[in-house]
C-alpha cells in the first residue's frame, strides 16, 4: 500500500500537477492540504476520472484538506469534535482497515504571536483526538503538513532557525507527544541520518540551493511498523512550473 501526503498550496492552481503526480506514481492513498477551495468547488470528477474516490473538508482562500483513495473511503469524519474551530484542517477516513488522518497543522507565525498560542492549543486538541482515534483504530496513519521540523537534521541551517517558529523546542515537544502515543515517523525511522526536506521558501532560490525544512510527515502506528518498507520525498514536482512550495512524501507498506 503506497500512501502519500502533499500540501498543494491551492488545488485550483495545482490541479494539473496533482493529477499528473497521481497518474505517474499511482499511490493508493494521497492526503492533500491547503486546498483553498470552498466545499462545493472541489473537483471530485477530475479524480474520479482517473480512478480515485475523494473525501474533503474545504475552505475558501485558506486551509482545506482531502483524502484521495483507490479503495472506498469509510467512516469519514471532518474536524476535531472537541475543538470549536472554523478552520478546516482535519479529515479522517478508513481505507482497507487503516485509519487515515489528514492534518494541516497550524503554522504559528512567530513564537511571540497569538497565532503561536493558537498553535499550542490546536496541537493539544490534535493529541487528544489522535489518542482517541488510536483506541478505536489501532492501525492508524497520521499524515500531512505538521509545520514542525522535529529534528536538527530536518533544518538546513539550525543556527538560523533555532528558537524560531517551525523549529522551536516547544513545537518539537508537541511533535514528540504525538509520537509518544505510539506513532512512528516513517521517513526518520528508515533514514535517521539523512537530510530530507519537504518545504522550500519561494524566495531566494531556496529550492535550487537545497535549503529547506522537513515539515511534512507520515506517522504510522506501532502495529504498522512491521509492514513499513520504504519512505521518501519526491522533490521533482517542486521543480515544475508554478509549483507548490512543498513536495510529496510517500510511505510504502506491505499488505
Joined together, the cell numbers standing for residue 15 give: 490541479
Which residues on adjacent β-strands are paired with residue 7?
A: 33
Joined together, the cell numbers standing for residue 56 give: 474533503
Which residues on adjacent β-strands are paired with residue 220?
A: 141, 184
Residue 62 designated active-site: no
Joined together, the cell numbers standing for residue 61 give: 482562500
Q: Give pLDDT, residue 241.
A: 97
Among residues 52, 129, 145, 216, the one annotated as catalytic is: 145
CATH number for 174: 3.60.10.10
Which domain does 45 fall in, by range? 2-253
Predicted TM-score of the model (pTM):
0.98
Among residues 52, 104, 156, 197, the one annotated as catalytic is: 104
CA angle 237, 251, 207 (to 5 degrees): 30
β-pairing verdict for 2-7 and 228-233: unpaired
- Distance between CA atoms of 209 and 150, rounded to whole angstroms? 22
Average pLDDT of adjacent 10-residue blocks, the chain of 255 residues: 98 98 98 98 98 98 97 97 92 98 97 96 97 98 98 96 96 98 98 98 97 98 98 98 98 94
Q: Which residues contact 49 (CB under 8 A, 6 or more apart)?
A: none
Q: Give pLDDT, residue 82.
A: 87
Instruction: Indicate the SS3 state at residue 113.
Output: coil
The answer to whether 141 touches 3, Cβ cutoff 8 Å, is yes
Neighbours of 40 (CB within 10 A): 6
220, 117, 221: which is closest to 174 by C-alpha?
Answer: 117
What is the tally of structural domains in the chain? 1
- Distance between CA atoms of 188 and 110, rounded to whole angstroms? 26
Residue 40 designated active-site: no
Backbone angles phi, psi at 47, to 5 degrees: -80, -35
Tell me how many helices (H) and strands (E) the chain has: 6, 12
Q: Give pLDDT, residue 207.
A: 98
- Distance between CA atoms of 125 and 146, rounded to whole angstroms? 14
Joined together, the cell numbers standing for residue 78 give: 471532518
H/E element, 218: strand 216-221
Helix, strand, coil % in the chain, rounded to nearest 5: 30, 25, 40
CB-based burial label for 250 (10 Å; 0-12, 13-18, 19+): buried
Amino acid at each position: 500500500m503506497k500512501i502519500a501526503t502533499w500540501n498543494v498550496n491551492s488545488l485550483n492552481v495545482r490541479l494539473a500537477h496533482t493529477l499528473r503526480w497521481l497518474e505517474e506514481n499511482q499511490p493508493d492513498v494521497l492526503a492533500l492540504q491547503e486546498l483553498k477551495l470552498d466545499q462545493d468547488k472541489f473537483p471530485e470528477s477530475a479524480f474520479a476520472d482517473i480512478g480515485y474516490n475523494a473525501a474533503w473538508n474545504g475552505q475558501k482562500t485558506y486551509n482545506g484538506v482531502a483524502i484521495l483513495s483507490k479503495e472506498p473511503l469509510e467512516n469519514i469524519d471532518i474536524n476535531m469534535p472537541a475543538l470549536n474551530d472554523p478552520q478546516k484542517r482535519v479529515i479522517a477516513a478508513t481505507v482497507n482497515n487503516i485509519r487515515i488522518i489528514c492534518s494541516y497543522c497550524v503554522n504559528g507565525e512567530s513564537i511571540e504571536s497569538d497565532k503561536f498560542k493558537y498553535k499550542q492549543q490546536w496541537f493539544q486538541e490534535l493529541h487528544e483526538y489522535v489518542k482517541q482515534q488510536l483506541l478505536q483504530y489501532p492501525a492508524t496513519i497520521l499524515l500531512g503538513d505538521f509545520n514542525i521540523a522535529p529534528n536538527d537534521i530536518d533544518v538546513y541551517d539550525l543556527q538560523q532557525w533555532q528558537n524560531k517558529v517551525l523549529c522551536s523546542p516547544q513545537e518539537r515537544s508537541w511533535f514528540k507527544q504525538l509520537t509518544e502515543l505510539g506513532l512512528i515517523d516513517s521517513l526518520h525511522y528508515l533514514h535517521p541520518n539523512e537530510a530530507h526536506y519537504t518545504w522550500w521558501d519561494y524566495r531566494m532560490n531556496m529550492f535550487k540551493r537545497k535549503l529547506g525544512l522537513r515539515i511534512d510527515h507520515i506517522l504510522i502506528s506501532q502495529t504498522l511498523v512491521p509492514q513499513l518498507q520504504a519512505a521518501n520525498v519526491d522533490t521533482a514536482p517542486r521543480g515544475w512550473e508554478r509549483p507548490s512550495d512543498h513536495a510529496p512524501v510517500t510511505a510504502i507498506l506491505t499488505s
